[in-house]
Structure 1
Amino acid sequence: MLEEKEPRVTISFYKYFHLDDPQQFRDELYIKFYEIDVFGRVYIATEGINGQISVPENKKDRFKEILYNCHPELNGIRLNEALDNDGKSFWVLRMKVRNKIVADGIEDQTFDSSKTGKYLTAKEFNKLSEQDDTIVVDMRNSYEYEVGHFSNAVEIPSRTFREQLPKAVELLQNHKDKNIIMYCTGGIRCEKASAYMLHNGFKNVYHVEGGIIEYVKKAREENLPLKFIGKNFVFDERLGERVTDDVISKCHQCGAPSDRHTNCANQKCHDLIIQCERCAEEFKGCCSHDCVQHLVP
């Protein structure tokens, strides 16, 4: 990638649909992606596909053609282009077959992930989220919420999506008569979460179409008030996309304003932390003095 001269584009996509043979689907799609220099991470399961990839700009149309034609359910699916789109997000192509494209911990065989809440566009979200009988729910992990979120969003404290689903049902149990709007980074988690809330007796459930990425893109295009503040955490080399200039989180070590995510430089720890530049220098990129002492030269 470092030697490439062609600009790259970072794209995320997902679709819930049934696949009879995920392994064969994966193998055939891998060959086609590899031939056009796609990098990234793609998960495939009987319940669908979930991908975050980087593709050379001059091969973007070919990528779309391949994806749209590899299965009837994928024809014309939404592709979320990154907000901070320099393409330097992935370095290799990894495609894996998993039990689910999003690990949810749901064992109830009667649950149907296709019965989802109603999509909301950016304009519809802005209007509905301002109503008194509406609760906006962040369906991301705590470290994502910490650096950026919708200004009136409720956090469901957790480190994983599988922890969060039952917590959301429990915390909102007394609000089944209200409008529940769920959101996440690109839509895949909040779409499944909306189905889970409906499965558990909630009536007026919505989710933001395309997640934060699509919301910000449309809000900017349509000159709408931007209700997301701070930084949008992303699961690639960038670890974040700047949405607004607001820095709403603090360095985990000194408490100074910072939304700079990094992994501890001690590979035996590798904990994800928020670390300001001053502490990064003092701690040599580590999360603690103990990790500094155990750094491999």
Structure 2
Amino acid sequence: MQLYNTLSANERSALLEQAGEDRLTLSFYQYAYIGNPELFRNHLFVAWDAMDVLGRIYVANEGINAQLSLPAKNFEDFKSFLDGIYFLENVRLNIAIEQDLKSFLKLKIKVRDKIVADGLNDATFDVTNKGIHLDAVSFNQIIEDPDTVLVDMRNHYESEIGHFKNAITPDVDTFRDSLDIIEEDLKDHKEDKKLVMYCTGGIRCEKASAYYKHKGFKNVFQLEGGIIEYARQVKNLGLENKFLGKNFVFDHRRGERISDHVISQCHQCGEACDTHVNCANEACHLLFIQCDNCRAQMEECCSVECQEIIQLPLEEQKALRSGLHNSNKIFKKGRSEKLRYKK
């Protein structure tokens, strides 16, 4: 029984082009007790591989967090499969605003300790005592209330390219970092302010809202379905769009445009830009914002040093990035002294 990928990303990319089929990119999550995550993971892999599902899925005792794509023609079968799992019946599916044939190139289903790395001890508070969910209409109304504090629960590289107007955007590298910072900043307003939170698809706010209620906040709200669902409702209902810029997404697209505003700048020249790239030097792989001119001039690299490395023979490049010490520097998100215009 096949429980792993047999094709490389390049091979899968070529097959997707040859097939020429429309694909849907979507995400969903659900907190639920899963007694045997490994067995559940295998069950999903067999079924979804047969449906040509590709994506990144995390399974844990506490539930599932999934970002994936599949052929549009298989959507109803996929939905029926989910509905056949008791805790996933009628689960909300956040379908991407912008579709891309190659948003994912492999099916990766991993068993983790948690479906979101929140660093919290769930045994210390009631994770089911969540905040009030808001649809786009209610959200637009409440954020205009002067007694509302709107908080972006995402990381710095996400909010940098797009966020709701007047939102607090903590300059943090991880979700866990933001929890204590926000509590400290708002400690004097636990009773007199409405705490309204949002994130990409809703999963981070799901846990954060329960955590903040446990910490004494009396009026806690969250945007249901996150920015993805908000953008869909705004479009379908003809609502005013209060989101500025792009929504960062965790697939090969790296961003969905929600409004025409470009609120960030190229990290290398300072020109208006909101396109994220990864440094072409695989020993660096830094995520940063780069305009087309700098992309051509720097050969998709974040620095002259990295540009020099990609000219070396492949074996020398591999040697430079081998070892635990070097690997710890890889996959950083937008933090580097080489980036002159990083805010």
Shorter chain as denominator, the TM-score bin is over 0.9
Contact 1:147–1:233, Cα closer than 8 Å, also in 2: yes
Q: How many residues align?
A: 296
Deviations 1:150-204 (A, max 9, x none): 0111012201112111222112212212001100000001111111111111010
Instruction: Tell me the CA shift for residue 216 of structure 1.
Output: 0.8
Q: Does 1:140 align with 2:154?
A: yes
TM-score, normalized by length of structure 1? 0.97
Deviations 1:231-259 (A, max 9, x none): 01101000000111110001111111000
| Cα distance in 2, alignment partners of residues 20 and 87 from structure 1 | 35
Q: Does 1:84 align with 2:98?
A: yes
Instruction: Tell me the CA shift for residue 108 of structure 1.
Output: 5.7
Matched to 1:205, the amino acid is V
Q: How does 1:81-160 map to 2 (within 5 A)?
A: 81-107=95-121, 109-160=123-174
Q: Higher Cα Rg: structure 1 or 2?
A: 2
Contact 1:16–1:114, Cα closer than 8 Å, also in 2: no
Percent identity over the alignment?
Answer: 51
| Cα distance in 2, alignment partners of residues 286 and 83 from structure 1 | 29
The runs of 4+ residues in structure 1 deviating greater than 6 Å are: none
Q: Does 1:214 align with 2:229?
A: yes
- Match for residue 170 of structure 1? 184
Q: Does 1:245 align with 2:260?
A: yes
Change (3 A) 1:62 1:120: same
Contact 1:55–1:87, Cα closer than 8 Å, also in 2: no
Matched to 1:195, the amino acid is A
| Cα distance in 2, alignment partners of residues 170 and 45 from structure 1 | 30
Q: How does 1:1-297 map to 2 (within 5 A)?
A: 1-69=16-84, 71-107=85-121, 109-176=123-190, 177-295=192-310, 296-297=312-313
Contact 2:100–2:253, Cα closer than 8 Å, also in 1: no
More displaced stretch, 117-126 vs 166-175: 166-175
| Cα distance in 1, alignment partners of residues 89 and 76 from structure 2 | 13
RMSD: 1.0
Instruction: Tell me the CA shift for residue 3 of structure 1.
Output: 1.6
| Cα distance in 2, alignment partners of residues 195 and 247 from structure 1 | 33
| Cα distance in 1, alignment partners of residues 242 and 101 from structure 2 | 26
Deviations 1:206-242 (A, max 9, x none): 0000000000110111111100010011010000001
Secondary structure (helix, strand or coil) at the match of 1:66 reads helix
| Cα distance in 2, alignment partners of residues 109 and 54 from structure 1 | 34
In structure 2, runs of 5+ residues without a counterpart are: 1-15, 314-343
Instruction: Tell me the CA shift for residue 21 of structure 1.
Output: 1.0
- Match for residue 319 of structure 2? none
Contact 1:11–1:80, Cα closer than 8 Å, also in 2: yes
Secondary structure (helix, strand or coil) at the match of 1:24 reads helix
Matched to 1:209, the amino acid is E
| Cα distance in 1, alignment partners of residues 110 and 61 from structure 2 | 12
